Chains A and B, each alone.
Chain A
């Protein structure tokens, strides 16, 4: 269904908007997407810095950190050691920020917003004002999560999973909101809960918009079977978010009530005192949190990879100059991953004290979810076979996605196997797996997307040689950082340990840990190259034309950057997005809107 109504384009012009309405409180999906992009890039730097702190401690657990004590103005009593509380805060906030403030808003918020109307041929999202609200609802989240660093007790330090009881205990009524279970579990934890509530609300607003836009606002001729995989992926992701987020919202509210109103949703009966403080009458169940949390957070990991998979499919097809191999299996496998993703949450809880018979059920579903992922990998390989590959930076990151997603996906199978999970649960093996799928896959997919759509967003090209340097360093240092974690994990080094040297069995691994830490520092430094490239190119990059990559999808027919309303005339779609090397065209690409019969494509003006 299109929005083009037959009346003249000159018939309505917007009054000239102020800078604030145009660029700050904008309802234009492109501006909102770019706002998400900038905000999440800032949090990428924050989250990455926290990771450097984590690796500093893990590499040299007993080293002299006086410089850190001076920098953060710690009391002299702390000595020169990194306090375990501080380390716990570092890894907890690193994960929280990367998941909720970088990957999810980057993929769903930045790319979702920017690409969806453009790629389906719509002038904007179905609900532009709701879209604006979805970005601005992130701001309370941004502020509150950062406030957490400065409250009494510091930022939350219970892992990004915030399991009760350590995170849900609170003082009795009238005695304040600190927690008897440790630093970073009082006011900081409350900040965490509230911030994530806002992130959830923002995401749910976005989901509504994306699904509606994709269903209702496709340009004429843009059937579902002609949608680029980026859109398929974002569509399915939006549905995932819409169904999973309410459960997280409930969990967050229950824990917030436990912490502020002394309810006992997660406090079992019989624990009248904990740590010599009065705990409360109880009546709840600790495991309830884990079920609610993981019911959302497992689909969340698919939310964090599906859009990247979609983007990578489009980027690989574009730069392989070859149609995507297996279009239908590709979107069916996206749906399969998403659907199966709802019934595997218990695989995070195999050892949790949940009935082990449930474990068997979750195990089977989890092992099967490897199948659609494998199908996707084979189809990407099939796309590159017989191709004519252009090694642009975007393509390199997309290929790295495929290569490293293989590792991430295969390592997941170890944990899916419940007996093996008994040994490797909560070890560095899972840390390796999660970083391969989140960093080496999602984040590399994000880099691919940024390098690819930067010209469309900003009308300028990023510097290719610098991009390639960024790629080589990130690829090598990333693998050097995270691959050895499979080994330390196989040796059963537990995760979230501030001092692994306490244990005899872990002493021989310290060399590997040091190697990982040094590689991590190189990896962090390499991202500066990207940031320099990004911000320099924003202002001084060479100007880009409409279609620098000679790609087929709709957005490359609009100006770079597209004006408000995107298309001068409503596009009409004649074919799918992957007609590269088509015999019907002399070029090695054939855009979706190109009318081969000589007529001008699209004659209706676009209604704003």
Chain B
């Protein structure tokens, strides 16, 4: 056996795993989406046709509007681009030897962005993630045009399913959010579950994704600032945005949304719990379905986007210029996780990058639990019967 392995390694080079040493992250050439369109995606367009992405961003929009919402890195001057690339390589290394030279050793330790972990993460990423999420985490791998929704582009620094309580716009995922996504997958999409990988590999992967996201976001912000003419000194711009971005990441790790105790958990008897659920689900339905506030009955306005409980939602553009649909809540498939706490987080802080807004300013925590309880029974007609709710438009 050994002679064959020797022959094999001689034929293909010694390192069969891991990126080749001379491979560099490619400079960004695809357009940056800097603003979301004000309109919905046209219904005739539907989702991007297979193969349209990433050749076509903001599919269905007229060209003029696209130009207003995007920035083309081709407009960078050559010397600016070169300095940017050098700066990024200095701080973030290459795919084979990634590093996170971000000027905050404590954060590096906390997020495990040390060289060894990143290298391990990059090796696992290459085997499992590269073909969808692309070399620089751009979501433009070979598989990307053919799955819907498309793989996440980390370079915007935006992740949809977070549990951190930062303000919108600055919000980063906690590392546990990324690990949750890796373990559970995103049901209803092509992002599979990786829970069978060893725990260390998952940690390393999450670290590597954070690394790609930091690198990508700095590149994004610097290109934007340079092309718009807001900045001109590349190294200073890099440093400024690095400080901002790492601050956001650090803030996320210590800002967990902790829902108050679920009211059902404090009730002792089966009857009490049943009564609480019955009333809560009725309130939840009301909050969900009410188009506007009526007297002192609030409206969460969900039906506005989740038309017909999600079965006839309109197509919308997200922050990455791709097309999404508000979820069909009658299926019982939740991309961000099906646990009640996951649903709480989604309603409480919204979903980053898409039009799902935060409700934290308008709904009390108990009201959020009401909506969560309602959502949980929505896919199960028998449970709706049990809890005595009748929907105006009963799900088929």
Contact = CB atoms under 8 A, between A and B. Distances in A.
B19 A79 contact: yes
A112 interface: no
B17 A62 contact: yes
Interface in B23-64: 23, 26, 44, 46-47, 49-51
A74 B141 CA distance: 10
Nearest to A515: B4
Contacts of B178: none
B162 to A, nearest CB: 22
A78 B142 contact: yes
B20 interface: yes
B8 A75 contact: no
Contacts of B19: 64, 79-80
Interface stretch (A81-89, A356-364, A397-405, A542-550): A81-89
A78 B135 contact: yes
B148 A518 contact: no
B49 A77 contact: no
Interface in B114-146: 126-127, 130-131, 134-136, 138, 140-146
Interface string B2-13: 001101100111
Interface residues of A, number: 41
A514 interface: yes
A339 interface: no
A75 B126 contact: no
Contacts, number: 117
B142 A83 contact: yes
B188 A85 contact: no
B148 A178 contact: no
26 contacts: A60-B8, A60-B11, A60-B12, A64-B19, A64-B20, A76-B135, A77-B138, A79-B95, A79-B130, A79-B134, A81-B127, A81-B131, A83-B131, A83-B141, A85-B143, A152-B51, A153-B50, A153-B51, A180-B148, A183-B143, A183-B146, A276-B325, A511-B1, A518-B7, A518-B8, A518-B11
A75 B55 CA distance: 12
Interface string A46-88: 0000000000000110111010000000111111110111100
Contacts of A83: 131, 141-143
Nearest to A85: B142
B109 interface: no
A79 B140 contact: no
Contacts of A75: 140
Interface of A: 59-60, 62-64, 66, 74-81, 83-86, 152-153, 171-172, 174-176, 178-183, 186, 275-278, 499, 511, 514-515, 518
A296 B51 CA distance: 33
Nearest to A176: B49
Contacts of B126: 62, 79, 81
Q: Is the interface of A mostly helix, strand, loop or mixed?
A: loop
Given A81-B130, A83-B143, A60 B16 contact: yes
A183 B142 contact: yes
A75 B126 CA distance: 16
Contacts of B131: 78, 81, 83-85
Contact of B141 (A78, A275, A276): A78
Given A75-B140, A77-B136, 13 more contacts: A66-B20, A77-B141, A78-B142, A79-B95, A84-B143, A178-B51, A180-B146, A186-B51, A276-B325, A277-B47, A499-B127, A511-B5, A514-B7
A77 B12 contact: no
B365 interface: no
Contacts of A153: 50-51, 146
Contacts of B140: 75, 77
Contacts of A515: 4
B76 interface: no
Contacts of B144: 77
Interface in B211-237: none
A83 B141 CA distance: 8
Nearest to A153: B51
A275 B148 contact: yes
B87 interface: no
A80 B136 CA distance: 12
B49 A66 contact: no
Contact of A86 (B1, B7, B142, B188): B142
Contacts of B7: 514, 518
B357 interface: no
A275 B147 contact: yes
Contacts of B5: 511, 514
Contacts of A86: 142
A340 to B, nearest CB: 41
Contacts of A79: 19, 23, 95, 126, 130, 134-135, 141
B264 interface: no
Nearest to B145: A183
A79 B134 CA distance: 7
B26 A179 contact: no
A175 B136 contact: no
Interface string B302-327: 00000000000000000000000100
B16 A62 contact: yes
B49 A178 contact: yes
B20 A182 contact: no
Given A78-B135, A518-B7, A276 B47 contact: yes
A191 to B, nearest CB: 15
Contact of B148 (A76, A176, A277): A277
Contacts of B185: none
Interface centre among B44, B50, B145 (most CB of A within 10 A): B50
B13 A64 contact: yes
A270 to B, nearest CB: 13
A172 to B, nearest CB: 8
Nearest to B44: A174
A177 to B, nearest CB: 9
Nearest to B5: A511
B149 interface: yes
A13 to B, nearest CB: 59
A511 B144 CA distance: 32
A66 B22 CA distance: 10
A153 B49 CA distance: 12
Given A62-B127, A80-B23, A186 B12 contact: no
B385 to A, nearest CB: 23
A511 B7 CA distance: 11
A76 B143 contact: no
Closest 3 CB pairs of A and B: A83-B142, A76-B26, A77-B134
A219 to B, nearest CB: 57
A499 B325 CA distance: 33
A172 B136 CA distance: 33
Nearest to B189: A276
Contacts of B141: 77-79, 83
Interface string B182-193: 000000111000
Contacts of A518: 4, 7-8, 11
Nearest to B331: A273
Contacts of B51: 152-153, 178, 186
Contacts of A62: 16-17, 126-127
Interface centre among A64, A77, A183, A275 (most CB of B within 10 A): A77
B8 A77 contact: no
Contact of A171 (B20, B49, B146): B49
Contacts of B15: 64
A593 to B, nearest CB: 56
Nearest to B2: A511
B311 to A, nearest CB: 10
Contacts of B95: 79
Nearest to B25: A76
Interface in B57-111: 95
A171 B130 contact: no
Contacts of A152: 51
A180 B50 contact: yes
Nearest to A508: B1
Contacts of B136: 77
B23 A171 contact: no
